[in-house]
Structure 1
Amino acid sequence: MKIGFYTSTFNDRPLEEVVDFAASAGFDAIEIDVGGHIKTPDRVEAAVTLARSRGLSVSSITYFGNQLDADRDKRRELRTKTADFAKAIGEAGVPIFVIFPGRDDSASEDANYDDFAEFAIKLIAETQSSGLTFAIENWPGPRDNFIGTTPRGWQELFRRITDPRFGLEFDPSHLLRIGVDPYQAMEAVKDRIAILHAKDTAIDKDVLEAVGYHGKGWWQYKLPGLGLIDWPRFLRQARGAGFDGTLSIEHEDAAYGWPGKDLSARKEGERLGLDYLKNVLSRL
């Protein structure tokens, strides 16, 4: 497995500085955030070339946005840009394009799944020549209601989208905080995992008892190894399932400068995550 990180942690820094840091720190890859470091489809090739010039592979490119936005004009605009990015990303030889399904609160559950599946199937068809894989991250969204972010949601999507070029950016940290066993969940979708997010979650049981699941302050995202995930077990399971892709650290640990605070602390967090994952992989 390769180890990389998601560049959103450094969205306040130019991409050249970010890839220089990644290379000097000993990372194998980076996952580039569109909003922070690419902006428009015509800049994809230059961003990818820059990363590769530093000896890094580009594991994936990620584009935030609610693909099921209830505002039809916003949805249409986002999907047009998504298709343009998909074409550019495929032509640049990047293997994975990560997007977010979102949700339309005004539509039924089935209508949401049907609509997103129809769009995803169209993207797959339009990028057949490049073979680009599309993946959704199981981030539940700002209101914890995005479709396709739970085991049942994945079943609904994969029933509709059977092409193996559609899969998951599997992030165990989100599953922990919504009460889903990440090991059991991964086993059920092991053949549809395109990339793994290396992020952990810590839960303060005393605060949870005081405020309940709908309260605040009882969970925090952490760097891998600083939360509840048993990473030796998790990565052994992934390897046993045949996964040999990229572990992409998504650094959202407030103890190490996130979000957008002390730059040296953020870099130290990335280094700690890299060292920890390297150690775990060396012992599997």
Structure 2
Amino acid sequence: MKLGVFTVLFAQKSLEDVLDYIASKGLNAVEIGTGGYPGNAHCDPDTLLADAGKLKAFKQAVESRGLIISALSCHANPLHPQKAISSEHDSVIRKTIELANRLEVGIVNTFSGCPGDHEDAKYPNWPVAPWPNDFQDILKWQWEQKVIPYWSEIGALSESAGVKIGLELHGGFSVHSPGTLLRLREAAGKAIGANLDPSHLWWQGIDPVQAIHILGREGAIHHFHAKDTTIDPVNVNKHGVTDMQSYALMLDRAWQFRTVGYGHDLKVWADIISALRLVGYDYVVSIEHEDGLMSVDEGFTKAVQNLKQVLITEPLGEMWWV
């Protein structure tokens, strides 16, 4: 396995400075934002697709520092009911797929998106209960009319480009659990898989190790994010896991994101890494920093230190004891 980082946390720095800093930490890979919610501070698809020289220089900047690009990421909502939003997000996903093909990057990460509840809706509607039956009607309409048709088209496009789609299982979007990911994958093709982030699984009550087994047995893990979560044992009984308070209200929230090792100990993370290898995932573990108690540099540095203790980096070789 290789250790990488999602570079959007260093958006204020130039690409060259970011790459130098990441290489100095002994990492092997970078995941780079190309638009959507993460922005495109280090990688503008329009610029690189229009200029072969700039495209070559961009690739060389990464490779000359001994790094690889693990994925291009454009987390967005291409199913948003407001056409101005969905069109923009759809466009960046398509451009990112083309750019990934040109750069020989195999993964594009994004969100599944979430539609509204009818054609003239203004806002996404994320049903979280099967009753009253209205919610089932909404869910059926969303999947049959929006989710499956859109991702079937994008799945075919990405497959023809030699690119896989890593959907992050994130609350608020149609694909948010192993089950919903596999449902879409069955309908839209095997180019669709997961950008698995345990931080979003923990707050939903999903065990990341079991999620890895469920998805890994299907070959459905395309990329992996390393981010932690802690659940407050008092606040969760007041607000529940679907706590809608701002992430900034850390003292009052039911759960909050932490850097690796500050939500769950390293034995838990060792189990996660071992499960990934067990199901055949031997690619990049990409650090994502969204810890409200630590600066970017400190949170990133501690994640690097903790993950280096548990990451399995060498080929297995033969089992000499068998």
Q: Give the TM-score of the pair, scaled to structure 1.
A: 0.87
Alignment of 1:8-157 (within 5 A): 8-34=8-34, 35=39, 36-43=41-48, 45=55, 46-107=57-118, 108-114=138-144, 115-128=146-159, 130-140=161-171, 145-157=172-184
Aligned to 2:232: 204
Aligned length: 271
What secondary structure is seen at the aligned counterpart in 2 of 1:205? Answer: coil
Partner SS for 1:147: coil
Contact 1:171-1:196 within 8 A present in 2 as well: yes
- What's the secondary structure of 2:237's corresponding residue? helix
Q: Structure 1 residue 73: deviation in Å? A: 3.7
Residues 132-281 of structure 1 mapped to structure 2, 5 A cutoff: 132-140=163-171, 145-163=172-190, 165-190=191-216, 191-215=219-243, 216=245, 217-228=253-264, 230-257=268-295, 266-281=296-311
Q: What amino acid maps onto 2:274 in structure 1?
A: R
On the 8 A contact 2:5/2:29 being kept in 1, the answer is: yes
Cα deviation for residue 106 of structure 1 reads 2.2
Q: How many angstroms apart in 1 are the aligned matches of 2:74 and 2:20?
A: 22
- What SS does the aligned partner of 1:202 have? strand
Evaluate the alpha carbon distance shift between residue 25 and residue 162 of structure 1 in structure 2; reply closer, same or farther with a 3 A threshold.
Answer: same
SS at 2:311 equivalent: helix
The runs of 5 or more residues in structure 1 that have no matched partner are: 258-265
Other structure's SS at 1:54 match: coil
1:214 Cα deviation after fit:
4.7
Q: Distance in 2 between matches of 1:51 and 1:185?
A: 32
Q: 1:283 offset after TM fit, Å?
A: 9.9
Q: Percent identity?
A: 28
Gaps of 5+ in 2: 50-54, 119-137, 246-252, 315-322
The offset of 1:128, in angstroms, is 4.2
* Alpha-carbon offset, residue 97 of structure 1: 0.5
After superposing the two structures, state which structure 1 stretch, 231-240 or 43-52, moved more: 43-52
- Find the residue that maps to 2:27 and give its secondary structure: coil
Higher RCO, Cα 8 Å, sep 6+: 1
Deviation at 1:32, TM superposition (A): 0.4
Deviation at 1:85, TM superposition (A): 2.1
Asked if the contact 2:117–2:142 (Cα under 8 Å) also holds between the matched residues in 1, the reply is no
CA contact (8 A) 1:138 1:148 kept: yes
* Deviations 1:146-165, CA, capped at 9 Å, x for gaps: 111113312321221232x2
Q: Which amino acid aligns with 1:280?
A: V
Give yes or no for contact 1:98–1:136 (8 Å, CA) kept in 2.
Answer: yes
1:230-264 CA-partner distances (Å, limit 9, x unpaired):
1111111111111101000001112221xxxxxxx
| Equivalent position amino acid for 1:48 in 2 | K
What root-mean-square deviation, in Å, do the aligned CA atoms of Structure 1 and Structure 2 show?
Answer: 2.2
Task: Output the CA distance in 2 between the equivalents of 1:253 and 1:24.
Answer: 22
Do the aligned partners of residues 43 and 283 (structure 1) sit closer, same or farther apart at CA in structure 2, a change above 3 Å counting? closer
Alpha carbons 1:42, 1:88 under 8 Å: kept: no
Distance 2:151 2:86 in 1: 14
Change over 3 Å in CA distance of 1:11–1:50 after alignment to 2: same
Larger Rg: 2
Q: Secondary structure at the match of 1:254?
A: coil
Counterpart secondary structure, 1:77:
helix
Report how far residue 277 of structure 1 moved. Answer: 1.1
Alignment-derived partner of residue 131 in structure 2 = none
Secondary structure in structure 2 of the residue aligned to 1:235:
helix
The secondary structure found in structure 2 opposite 1:156 is helix
Q: Tell me how far apart the structure 2 counterparts of residues 116 and 5 of structure 1 sit (CA, whole Å).
A: 29
